[in-house]
Structure 1
Amino acid sequence: MSQDNAERSADQLPTWNLDHLYPGPDSQAVKQDCSDAAAKAKAFRQDYEGKLAGLSGSELAAAISDYEAIEETLGRLMSYAQLRHSTDMTDAKVGRFHQSIQETVTGISAQLIFFTLELNRLDDLDLAEKLKDSDLARYRPWLEEQRAFRPYQLSEDLERILHEKHVTGRAAWNRLFDETMAALKFPLNGEELTEAQILNKLTDRDENTRKAAAKSLASVLKQNLRLFTQITNTLAKDKAIEDSWRKFQKPVSSRNLANVVEDEVVESLVEAVRSAYPRLSHRYYALKAKWFGREKLEYWNRNAPLPQANDRRIAWGEAEKHVLTAYGEFSPRLAEVGERFFSQGWIDADPRPGKASGAFSHPTVPGAHPYILMNYQGRVRDVMTLAHELGHGVHQVLAADQGYLMANTPLTLAETASVFGEMLTFQSLLRSESDPTRRKIMLAGKVEDMLNTVVRQISFHEFETIVHDKRREGELLPDELCDIWMQTQQASLGPSLSFDDDYRTFWSYIPHFVHVPFYVYAYAFGDCLVNSLYAVYQEAEAGFAEKYLEMLAAGGSKRHKELLAPFNLDASDPAFWGKGLSVIESMIDELERLDTSM
């Protein structure tokens, strides 16, 4: 356990220290970086606009290096503003600072738009000749990623308009959604709860509490459904307009291109999971309904703890120990990097009013370090969330050496380290448990987490696909969105779950639909990939951990085929997804065996 945690009480939850980025919103450092970035961006445009074709390889490498430095400064400013805002979305001054930095950064970065557009106009043979320079060759993966967007690139004037209007368009609607959700209060048993708290009550041991929480969630969402419908319609139409101008064939295509994954690979994943619904979620929830002595399980019992489950609250210090022990059993290096998050104030875990719900690990910039946000409630699932986000954080630390332009991993691979961290933690805890009842409870919890990550996220993807397709035909009414939600949920979760009209509103609180359209399939991609990767690890000889850390350290400098090749895995192989899904299936098999033997 870290020294900081040893000094505070075992259950005191940490809050992060953003001074590592800037000492305060009104600090001279913030003002200086804004001023310096603006001056450097203006000078950069004067020095390079219209001149890239005439540069040598080494000169072009120097230009990219200058561009990267400016972008990193802007990234540091935006990270600071976003992180402050995520911990208090109801404070108007915090919101104003976030908006002002976003407007400043957007204005400065508009000066740089010409650069990637002009890079993409370079002749292939000319660029190939320039890439013979070793300094420029280092940026080859980034250049290839930029040039993949060439067929969808607009004129500089249009690109600049889209860029500058982002703060009053998509970003403004995102902010409206976030601040609305953060301000909502959900009544339960005489208390006013935040979104994170009411969602936590859906896993409470008492069924009456779970049902009341579900009804409260539905009631408050329904009161705000008109607003959430307008946000969804506006953002879907905004995307459709831009996709049309760029000539993307499908709403998901732009996300796939950004994820450096082919449309057919994503389609193969979706079809594999969809065809596995009966073997996975349908079968598991039928089993769970039987454990609860019912023919059908009410939706508020979907994530209920099993009747025999111990509801003991896990203190923060104990959660830290569990996760770092599991990481250390796999690789001391993994645990050493992970420990820094606890000892150096890189985690904010305290659930409080105004704070963003859910969890994330924000990479900030290579010159700083990542920050983890979560809302720790002391459940086993929270320990797994900690393991998940710490996986992201360690990945981001290891990849930082690639530099600002190539440190970030495509979303399809960004979930690898997080899900692998969960699996390490779960398997470590399972190995230490010999009691059949406890093993059953742990396996059931893991299966539910995997179903939430794979089946539920693919059903979310199906919801988004239908919504965006139908939005191209016209605005969707609240009831139409609710109908699509029910259609995709019932298909994915199966006949052993029962729903009432209150569940129809639950689509409206999913933030990924608003913030990052078509993000959600990346979770299923990552889970299936990790299941296959963990199977290789179990059979591997010495050296697996080293290859795994090398994969994480590659960041965005390699594509999924290159990264998975050392493990003899290929996500473009249709059989690949079956391997990953078979791991979930085998766990349900074991639960059925345990059920008959007890």
Structure 2
Amino acid sequence: MNRYEWSLDALYKGYDDPAFQNDLKQYHDLHDELSALTEEMNTLEECCAVKEVLRLLEKEYDLSGRLHMYTILRQSVDTNDKQTLRYLNIINSRISSYSVYRSQLKDYLAHIKHMDSCIQQDEMLKEYSFLLYTLKDKASHSLCKEEEAMLAKLSQTSTAAFSDMYYHLTANVSVECLGQTMTLTQVKNLCHSTSRDVRKEAFLCEMKAYESIKEPLAFSINNIKRQQLMEARMRGYEDPLDKMLQDSFMKKETLNTMYAAVDKYLPRFHEYLRTKAKLLGYDNGLPWYEIYASLGTCDMSFTIEDCEAYIQQHFRNFSTDLYDMTKQAIDEHWIDYPSHTGKQSGAFCENLAWIKQSRIITNYGNTLSDIITVAHELGHAYHGMLVENERPLNREYCMPLAETASTFNENIMYRALINDADRENKLFLIDTQLSALCQNICDITTRYTFEKSVFEQCEERFMFASDLMQLMLEAEKKCFKDGLDPNWLHPYRWITKVHYYIPDIAFYNFPYTFGALFSSGLYAMYEKEGEAFLPKYRALLKASTTHTVEETAAIAGIDLEDAAFWEASLESITRQMDEFLILAKETAQNQG
């Protein structure tokens, strides 16, 4: 086996592995059990029925999870593997065919008459109390079966259709750029070019591409948002934001407190952007096409061995269990490093609680970004390790908390890299981290502000492309102010962000700001408290799948409805900005 590729043998040794074939048969045979229980559950004593339903859902979850994850992992490193595609189709088809049973079983759990007494008398049900009450709450927002069925059918020719139109138009639009006909994706990739002229030309070409598809996409976003608003109200939510907050197990008071703190500290981000603009030679703020520009290059290079050694060194300084898990990941080949034809792009981590491991895919290229990526994904593995002993249906954490451990790991690595760097690399590193934070705070706040405006207006009027462009420019000016050049803003961000076109999810933005600030706040606590912080951190991550966001934070002594935590988090970021400003001033003097 290649030292740099992962091993999946701990799951299955192949498709001809008797264990795989046996699990596949068991999953196929589960149909009779599911069918029988959905018919019998209403005749059983209620508390006994609840336990039987949960046990069967656990069994279905475990079997489908093992089988599906194995094929997904196989596919991610070889998208052309025909055998994998065949098994993936078989498994997906079976998962889909069981959806009606899963829905019926969960609906039964949601309507238990004596839920409190059942939970009080059984340990298993106590463990599932958060899930049971969540199902009950969601059921209170359900419509009658006929209405649910009608909405599901109508969505195919409404929100889902408008979403499909978005994907089709953005995937097929082309534009002349730098003497070539390019797709939108190819043009957008040039925004990361090391050449300023190329970045600017790519931005102008990107604007030209959007010009040709803006009107049909205005129809798309108008109708998706109007239907989301109507459905949210039909289900008894105040609006789509209320629905997203409840789905995220998060209070509106927390959101408002967080954004009040962000508003207070936005001027510091504007100062950072203006300073960066001047270093790049701009006097009127940063043009949008320079939003991804780096300050020079970093000559720090890491082979895979360097990466593993460096990460282990600094994780060991943080905690023994994070180091031990990382060493296990390396020794037992959890990570697939090399890029090659047929391998999926990007990076991800999948937790495999069934074998108490995870698997990580990267496309490693020896750069600074790669070592940060590996550390980030190991954070997901660490989070998974801390919840792997939860009952099977209690292992999913909500969106705002999903990036807590991964972003925390980034903070560990950035601080180590910055401390070890010379002055020039230090400026590059701090700017890289601040740039990412600026995206998660300033840019995401812009997207959140824009979406709120769309929902406020879509009920009263149809917004043409020019209206949407104006709303986006207003949001950018409000959130970025003089940090960006007002003559070079991006009026088409409502097209660039696919999140606006997801049929059944609105406000897929604020969780990113929450995640960035929550992790920064936790890291600030660690810097202040040292080892005393670690038990709270572990307990917080472990609780993240069975508690609300506020309850999870409270385990570490954090009150998310108090501005103090958010301001402490932002204050820790401004200390990085102070360091950046000092280095920027020295660099400007040297350039002068």
Please confirm whether the aligned pair reaches a TM-score higher than 0.5, indicating the same fold: yes
Q: Is the 8 A contact 1:45 1:112 kept in 2?
A: no
Q: Is the 8 A contact 1:185 1:193 kept in 2?
A: yes
For the pair 1:493 / 2:480, whether they are aligned, the reply is: yes
Q: Is the 8 A contact 2:141 2:236 kept in 1?
A: yes
Aligned-residue sequence identity (percent) comes to 22
Partner of 2:410: 422
Letter in 1 for 2:481: G
How many angstroms does 1:483 deviate by?
A: 2.7
Partner of 2:288: 299
In 2: Cα distance, 1:78 partner to 1:102 partner: 7
Q: Is the 8 A contact 1:40 1:70 kept in 2?
A: no
Q: Is the 8 A contact 2:272 2:483 kept in 1?
A: no
Partner of 1:400: 388
Q: Give 2:31's match in structure 1, choosing from 30, 38, 43.
A: 38
CA spacing shift, 1:361–1:541, aligned 2, 3 Å: closer
Q: Is the 8 A contact 2:258 2:566 kept in 1?
A: yes
Q: In the TM superposition, what are the counterparts of 1:161-560 in structure 2 within 5 Å?
A: 199=188, 201-225=190-214, 228-229=217-218, 231-280=220-269, 282-296=270-284, 297-307=286-296, 309-310=297-298, 314-339=302-327, 359-363=347-351, 366=354, 370-372=358-360, 379-433=367-421, 435-473=422-460, 475-498=462-485, 503-515=490-502, 516-560=505-549
For the pair 1:134 / 2:127, whether they are aligned, the reply is: no
Which region of structure 1 is more displaced relative to structure 2, 255-264 or 465-474? 465-474
For the pair 1:118 / 2:108, whether they are aligned, the reply is: yes
For the pair 1:55 / 2:42, whether they are aligned, the reply is: no
In 2: Cα distance, 1:115 partner to 1:507 partner: 39
- Higher Cα Rg: structure 1 or 2? 2
Q: Give 1:67's match in structure 2, choosing from 49, 57, 70.
A: 57
CA spacing shift, 1:344–1:430, aligned 2, 3 Å: same
Letter in 2 for 1:580: S
Which region of structure 1 is more displaced relative to structure 2, 90-99 or 466-475? 90-99
In 2: Cα distance, 1:582 partner to 1:133 partner: 46
In 2: Cα distance, 1:264 partner to 1:430 partner: 36
CA spacing shift, 1:32–1:51, aligned 2, 3 Å: same
Unaligned residue ranges in structure 1 (runs of 5+): 9-13
In 1: Cα distance, 2:74 partner to 2:208 partner: 30
CA spacing shift, 1:327–1:238, aligned 2, 3 Å: farther
CA spacing shift, 1:254–1:37, aligned 2, 3 Å: farther
In 1: Cα distance, 2:353 partner to 2:129 partner: 20
Unaligned residue ranges in structure 2 (runs of 5+): 588-592
How many angstroms does 1:40 deviate by?
A: 3.2
Partner of 1:122, secondary structure, is: coil
How many angstroms does 1:425 deviate by?
A: 0.8
Q: Is the 8 A contact 1:389 1:418 kept in 2?
A: yes
Partner of 2:381, secondary structure, is: helix
How many angstroms does 1:85 deviate by?
A: 7.7
CA spacing shift, 1:576–1:545, aligned 2, 3 Å: closer
How many angstroms does 1:463 deviate by?
A: 2.3
In 1: Cα distance, 2:149 partner to 2:7 partner: 36
In 2: Cα distance, 1:365 partner to 1:72 partner: 9
Letter in 2 for 1:587: Q
Q: In the TM superposition, what are the counterparts of 1:85-100 in structure 2 within 5 Å?
A: none
Partner of 1:454, secondary structure, is: helix
Letter in 2 for 1:504: P
Partner of 1:429, secondary structure, is: helix
Q: Give 2:141's match in structure 1, choosing from 141, 148, 152.
A: 152
Q: Is the 8 A contact 1:366 1:407 kept in 2?
A: no
Q: Is the 8 A contact 1:182 1:354 kept in 2?
A: no
How many angstroms does 1:419 deviate by?
A: 1.2
In 1: Cα distance, 2:183 partner to 2:315 partner: 32
Partner of 1:11: none
How many angstroms does 1:490 deviate by?
A: 2.7
Q: Aligned pair count?
A: 582
Q: Is the 8 A contact 1:564 1:570 kept in 2?
A: yes
Q: Deviations over 1:265-316 (max 9, x none)?
A: 1122223223432222x11111111212321222121221114x43666555
Q: Is the 8 A contact 1:360 1:389 kept in 2?
A: yes
Q: Is the 8 A contact 1:110 1:163 kept in 2?
A: no
In 2: Cα distance, 1:96 partner to 1:584 partner: 49
How many angstroms does 1:529 deviate by?
A: 1.6
Partner of 2:482, secondary structure, is: coil
How many angstroms does 1:548 deviate by?
A: 2.2
